[in-house]
A and B are shown apart, each in its own frame.
Chain A
């Protein structure tokens, strides 16, 4: 049984905090769980906190992009927060710029960004 990443809910936002280095199977489980949870809890935003992740490979990089794509289809915004400098450098060296994913420095700023965009879309 591989570990599953817990998905927490704060208001309209789902928070995924990844606390260990990811195995491929865990990543696939996460994608599945998250898609289900978004629909079940009618969330509007997802924050993925990777503060504790020290090692990334192209698979994890792609996972972040895939989650963002899945979320967008479900009309949910994804923000990746807390990326470490070393991780950012690795991703750049791997040639992954995570085009469709928005990022923020920490959880607080990520939540603030989501709330701002909720407000602007409410007004529209």
Chain B
């Protein structure tokens, strides 16, 4: 019973006669956005939100995550997302939600005790709504970052064909287990697709090597061998060579070359291709 009453109170508070609260809300919020958004657009957004909020309260919604609030949540998420895209900070978005409190402030002076109680309740609810926009903002950001890192992943592991039967993967950036998986998969698939028997892994672009990176590298090489191809590691810079020795990483019988050119020459020799320099040719 008590719940019903508070709902009625809140709705009553939000539908004060003679005042277009949504319009006033928009006006307030508009002030805090310093003219970077047109009043009409803002008014339309907040009008919608206002209507949804009143409806949710009428149905007895108590907090942000209750079922009746789903419409409000959807609107807030959308609002927060469009604002983020327009370059507003999350606090600016939240402040425009809080603006509704300012609009209702007069109640504190000439409202009844019940109304003041309702105002406080509504204030708490609005705080939650404001926080929700920030949450939505962060989530949107998170999604963008995830999509970008996926794209980066795809971009950074191309398999290139250097010669008939010779393919290479230039690795740029650090090798973690997720990337190793992708490098491995695309390299092995390329071996099958091109029927290549020579693979070169070029690590010129790997900034640092530690035992874990080496471990990933070794795994890839073993997988290549299992497929029936030979693997050469190239592009080992002097510092990296020193690190590898200092760490005591054993590359065993894996062929390593200083440059990609050396590795290619070896791969060609292994696949029975002779390189002949023509006399008189320019070098």
A contacts, CB < 8 Å to B: 79-81, 83-85, 87-89, 91-93, 97-98, 102-106, 109-110
The segment from B112-120, B133-141, B221-229 that touches chain A is B221-229
Let me know if B189 and A103 touch, CB within 8 A.
no
B contacts, CB < 8 Å to A: 181, 184-185, 188-189, 191-192, 195-197, 219, 222-229
In the complex, chain B residues whose CB is within 8 Å of the CB of A92 = 184, 219, 222-223, 226
Let me know if A88 and B195 touch, CB within 8 A.
no
Let me know if B222 and A83 touch, CB within 8 A.
no
Let me know if B229 and A89 touch, CB within 8 A.
no
Let me know if B226 and A91 touch, CB within 8 A.
yes
Let me know if A85 and B219 touch, CB within 8 A.
no
Query: Secondary structure of the A side of the interface?
Result: mixed
Show 21 A/B contacts (Cβ-Cβ < 8 Å), sorted by A: A79-B228, A83-B226, A83-B227, A83-B228, A84-B192, A88-B223, A89-B181, A89-B185, A89-B188, A89-B223, A91-B226, A97-B222, A97-B225, A103-B225, A104-B228, A105-B192, A105-B195, A105-B196, A105-B227, A109-B195, A110-B228
Given contacts A89-B188, A92-B219, contact A97 B226 (CB under 8 A): yes
In the complex, chain B residues whose CB is within 8 Å of the CB of A110 = 228
In the complex, chain B residues whose CB is within 8 Å of the CB of A80 = 228
Q: Which residue of A lies closest to B181 (CB)?
A: A89
In the complex, chain A residues whose CB is within 8 Å of the CB of B195 = 105-106, 109
In the complex, chain A residues whose CB is within 8 Å of the CB of B222 = 92, 97
In the complex, chain A residues whose CB is within 8 Å of the CB of B185 = 85, 89
Q: Which residue of B lies closest to A64 (CB)?
A: B226
In the complex, chain B residues whose CB is within 8 Å of the CB of A93 = 219
In the complex, chain A residues whose CB is within 8 Å of the CB of B229 = 105
